[in-house]
Structure 1
Amino acid sequence: MTTELTPPPRQSVSPPARAARPPWVDADVLREWSGWVRRETEADEVPLQTASAPFTLEPTASVPQCSAPDVAAAVARARVAQRDWAGVAVGERARLVLAFHDLLLEAQEQVLDLIQWETGKARFHAWQEVGQVVALARHYGRRAEHYLKPARLRGMVPGATVVKEVRVPKGVVGIISPWNYPLYLGVGDVLPALLAGNAVVSKADAQTPLTLLWTRALMDRAGLPADVWQVVTGVGEVTGPALVDAVDYVAFTGSTATGREVARRAAGRLVGASLELGGKNPLVVRRDADLAAAAHGAATAAFANTGQMCIHVERVYAHEDVYDEFRDALVRATEELRLGSAYDYSVDVGSLTSLDQLERVTAHVEDAVAQGARVLTGGQARPDLGPLFFEPTVLEGVTSAMRIFSEETFGPVVSLYPFASDADAVALSNQGTYGLSASVWSRDVGSAERLAVSLRAGAVNINDGAAAAAGSVEAGMGGMGESGLGRRHGAEGIRRFTDAQTVARQRLMPLGPPPGKPVEAFVHQTNRQLALMRRLRLR
């Protein structure tokens, strides 16, 4: 059944983009970046690949397409370079990363232009990528030695056995990053992998290679040897499998479907992998919440990055006693957002990044409306603003028969539902197979924290939509269920790029029966020692 709707008021609009291409990007600059992509065989005609700028659908810039042999050659070069890099003291590696930190802060206006040109996002959301990478560079630059230092452990025979656990680099790490956060997700894993003593080969997404190549050039200015971090570009179906087939560890960020394939391929080689995958993230508004703050937080978490982020909110559950008031506040907050394309901070929500994204968002909304869902605001594409714009949209009356109920939309759409109790909110939030991020709003922090630990989510934000946990770089970030394996950030975020090696030394004599002494006597004496250790509560 199709529901007849009065079109909601159109949302705020900003001026169009000032230029199809950032004015400082010229042929010489593009040649410099492309020089970081090395091919195994030199040909008269190098295959090229060109993406489209979301603001206009005009081409951005062509980059070389790498083949499977190109990827294998990059990994081989990285393996040679890693031997020397692993011998560089952690403190020296950290100094290089902190130099990169300073250069990125100084040169950020360029990369902000690039991120917007390649993704179509609002400038503030591009700046959030810079802020996050700077925070990670500073954190790991200051804490890497602590995270990687040898740990003294108890030996088999206290006093006689000396044991320590050391961290050794994996070797060559392959990083496969997506288009939605080309700087943060493209570089945020590179920094701890390098600090841990690895070489890195990154697969740039075909939509956003320029941001990663610009960053590699900046890292060169910081002093990183050329082959220690390399970037391969081209068709993902070619470069992705080739990378997984060659490296010693894989860090993947992307869809759950592709993550499964990466995991299978890595497992076939007994190579480790960390996977940050999809989500259908819930936000819970308890009866005692500050509704104005919750509405603003929900709009921010739902529509940041045009809804194209793995931790953005797609489901909002409001207590039935405050549902109507919260719904109205959320609609107002959504309609206040400025939608448009501009290389400045005058826009709150930018464009979707690709035609595929626009088609997916449109299909989800149309399917929901056709089956009876109500559009409270938004719900329309905006070709008057640009080819890939879609209004921030709030739906209610969504049922399990609709695609948007359980499928990840990955766009500027949020569905609103009532709930009756905390137990009801937990049951609703834990529906489905994902478990990446969640949010709870309440003035009663204790109750909110008790509710939080019942939610299946790798991170739960209290009185914040998503940024509090993601921005806390000392705390791990990752998913449960089909949202992934492993954690980025914090201790695990750098230690996953290492193997733990136990080094044990015996001070007096080798363990076991002394020469010439009956084995039975040794066993009897050892049993007495074990019993004594138990009584002394020794671990």
Structure 2
Amino acid sequence: MHAPGVPRVSDGELISTNPATGELAGQFPVADADAVGRAVERARLAAEWWAGLGFAGRRARLLRWRALMANRITELAGLSHLETGKPVVEAVVEAVSAIDHLDWAARNAKRVLGRRRVRSRLPVAEFSARLEYQPFGVVGVIGPWNYPVLTPLGSIGYALAAGNAVVSKPSEYTPAVGQWLVDTFAEVVPEQPVLQAVQGLGDVGAALCRSGIDKLAFTGSTRTAKVVMAACAETLTPLVIEAGGKDAVIVDTDADLDAAAEACVWGAFTNAGQTCIGIERAYVAAPVYDAFVDKVVTRAGRLTVGLDDADLGPITMPDQIATIRRHIEDAVERGGRAVLGGPDAVRPPYVHPTVLVDVPEDAEAVREETFGPTLTISRVSDAEEALTRANAAQYALGGAVFGRRRATRIAARMRSGMTAINSTLTFVGMPTLPFGGVGNSGFGRIHGADGLREFARSKAVTRRRGPSLLPAMTFERTPAHLDRIVKATKLMYGR
């Protein structure tokens, strides 16, 4: 019997089921390399039409798609719940954020990417200058399963707003959600296949990398990201990568402990810990350590686990359960203590909240991405030690700081792409801010103005508007011209 939630291919179709019950979520034709290539060629023609609509035409259509998703948000959340097992309320929150991002991208693309004049400089004052952004053409998107609406749309929506066509390869764990996004877009943009999906396992993602796309946006593990990079390198295909995380929270002595505990529990256990920017480590100043641990354990201990009307759903990817179990057992074997949960918290397909203390820094639960509902809390002498430990991880995606006097300074020094002060995860819901990591957590940015620019090529244009006062770029220079250039340079920059 096939395990619930594990995607499988049968008779050329990808079959997706609920990770807890095995209920069928959908089945979709699997694309081979030729099918991927044909999708990209269709997208190339569609991209010309889509780019030709201009910012206003694209905005109108994207806002209609946004309205459709808002009006059918319950349907979308229900499908996400069925396919991932996440609570419906979590699926609704995810969809709301995705809709807000799409709205912002559609409304701000012209302001960010529209043609603009750029000031010239005195040595080249005879030229005017302008900057424009042009779409790449066809953007490939390989999306994750943990947030199958918000995360892919963080690339898809911004790429579309920038004027690109998109070929999306949804995760094999969430093909139904990915297909829903494509099908609903086609309802409001029926003219051309501007957004398409290619379904299948990892080989389909590899085919997309090699299909001639003009840029790729990938979200997934650091290990897979390196494989994707190698495939894209064969054709010098540029890419943006959002990879793994091992985010930390720092709790200073002057933090509001109730607020810190509440936010930390949310950051660690939302979506059953299956969050790339989830809080997996907490470093707490010694004077407030015991109180903070007590508050976290009390709040986390109230969380419910199950499929319906629970705070935490099942682990969507069954293979991840072994990693979660190994990290918990390794932490305990190395002298750590489970003050909530522990090895017995692993009850497939569920894992109950687990809080670990006294875990050595070289334990897997501290060094490696767990991607489950676990949290290690470590006592440190002060915020400086906390910062040193937080920054020692190979990952650097997000993070958080709780405190008053020093919080802003600490946040600025945290090695991460995003940092929240007195909250957790909030930066992902800000369409005005870029989202992305450092080091093994990836490079490039989605969201915000930087996210729009990520999916457009900058093009510089100059135009002569008069004779050269300092004719440097010509073989018609005379000794008198050279003397004038030297004198002007000394006058302008020699003081």
Contact 2:25/2:79, CA 8 A, preserved across alignment: no
CA drift at 1:516: 10
Structure 2 CA distance for aligned equivalents of residues 401 and 455 of structure 1: 20
Contact 2:307/2:313, CA 8 A, preserved across alignment: yes
CA drift at 1:187: 2.0
**Residues 267-276 or 50-59, more deviating:** 50-59
Q: Is 1:135 aligned to residue 93 of structure 2? A: no
Contact 1:55/1:117, CA 8 A, preserved across alignment: no
Of 69, 88, 96, the residue aligned with 1:123 is 88
Q: Is 1:269 aligned to residue 235 of structure 2? A: yes
Contact 2:127/2:463, CA 8 A, preserved across alignment: yes
Aligned to 1:260: 226
Of 430, 453, 477, the residue aligned with 1:472 is 430
Structure 2 CA distance for aligned equivalents of residues 515 and 437 of structure 1: 51
**Residues 504-513 or 254-263, more deviating:** 504-513
Of 435, 438, 454, the residue aligned with 1:496 is 454
Deviations 1:40-71 (A, max 9, x none): xxxxx961121231121344322111111111
Aligned to 1:17: none
Q: Secondary structure at the match of 1:181?
A: coil
CA drift at 1:350: 1.2
Change over 3 Å in CA distance of 1:70–1:518 after alignment to 2 = closer
Gaps of 5+ in 2: none
CA drift at 1:466: 1.4
Contact 2:325/2:346, CA 8 A, preserved across alignment: no
CA drift at 1:95: 1.0
Gaps of 5+ in 1: 1-19, 22-44
Change over 3 Å in CA distance of 1:509–1:335 after alignment to 2 = same
Q: Which amino acid aligns with 1:373?
A: G
User: How many aligned positions are there?
Assistant: 484
Equivalence map 1:241-320=2 (5 Å): 241-245=206-210, 246-320=212-286
Of 389, 398, 414, the residue aligned with 1:437 is 398
Structure 1 CA distance for aligned equivalents of residues 456 and 386 of structure 2: 39
Of 430, 448, 454, the residue aligned with 2:407 is 448
Q: Is 1:57 aligned to residue 18 of structure 2? A: no
Deviations 1:231-253 (A, max 9, x none): 000111x1112111121101111
Of 335, 338, 357, the residue aligned with 1:372 is 335
Aligned to 1:323: 289
Aligned to 2:109: 144
Q: Is 1:231 aligned to residue 197 of structure 2? A: yes
Deviations 1:204-244 (A, max 9, x none): 111101111111121122225442111000111x1112111
Q: Is 1:76 aligned to residue 41 of structure 2? A: yes
Q: Which amino acid aligns with 1:350?
A: G
CA drift at 1:400: 3.4
Q: Is 1:529 aligned to residue 492 of structure 2? A: no
Structure 2 CA distance for aligned equivalents of residues 81 and 119 of structure 1: 32
Deviations 1:148-199 (A, max 9, x none): 1123223355542011011011111010111111111122211111111111
Aligned to 1:357: 320
Aligned to 1:114: 79
CA drift at 1:367: 2.2
Q: Is 1:402 aligned to residue 363 of structure 2? A: yes
Structure 1 CA distance for aligned equivalents of residues 136 and 296 of structure 2: 47
Contact 2:345/2:353, CA 8 A, preserved across alignment: no
Q: Is 1:155 aligned to residue 120 of structure 2? A: yes
Structure 2 CA distance for aligned equivalents of residues 91 and 508 of structure 1: 35
Compute the RMSD of aligned alpha carbons.
2.1
Contact 2:251/2:383, CA 8 A, preserved across alignment: no
Change over 3 Å in CA distance of 1:518–1:262 after alignment to 2 = closer
Structure 1 CA distance for aligned equivalents of residues 387 and 157 of structure 2: 36
Structure 1 CA distance for aligned equivalents of residues 28 and 465 of structure 2: 59
CA drift at 1:135: 0.9
Structure 2 CA distance for aligned equivalents of residues 83 and 204 of structure 1: 24
Q: Which amino acid aligns with 1:529?
A: A
Of 165, 170, 181, the residue aligned with 1:204 is 170
Deviations 1:484-520 (A, max 9, x none): 1011111110111111111110012478479996632
Change over 3 Å in CA distance of 1:231–1:312 after alignment to 2 = same
Contact 2:61/2:188, CA 8 A, preserved across alignment: yes
Deviations 1:243-271 (A, max 9, x none): 11121101111101111122232233222
Change over 3 Å in CA distance of 1:376–1:150 after alignment to 2 = same
Of 100, 104, 107, the residue aligned with 2:69 is 104
**Residues 204-213 or 256-265, more deviating:** 256-265
Q: Secondary structure at the match of 2:440?
A: helix
Contact 2:198/2:204, CA 8 A, preserved across alignment: yes
- TM-score (ref. length: structure 1): 0.86
Aligned to 2:380: 419
Q: Which amino acid aligns with 2:488?
A: Q
Structure 1 CA distance for aligned equivalents of residues 400 and 83 of structure 2: 30
Equivalence map 1:32-43=2 (5 Å): none
Aligned to 1:90: 55
Change over 3 Å in CA distance of 1:143–1:401 after alignment to 2 = closer
Aligned to 1:484: 442
Contact 2:345/2:354, CA 8 A, preserved across alignment: no
Change over 3 Å in CA distance of 1:528–1:233 after alignment to 2 = same
Q: Which amino acid aligns with 1:498?
A: A
Contact 1:435/1:480, CA 8 A, preserved across alignment: yes
Q: Which amino acid aligns with 1:205?
A: S
Deviations 1:330-378 (A, max 9, x none): 1001011122211xxx321111102112221112112222332211112
Q: Secondary structure at the match of 1:453?
A: helix
Aligned to 1:42: none
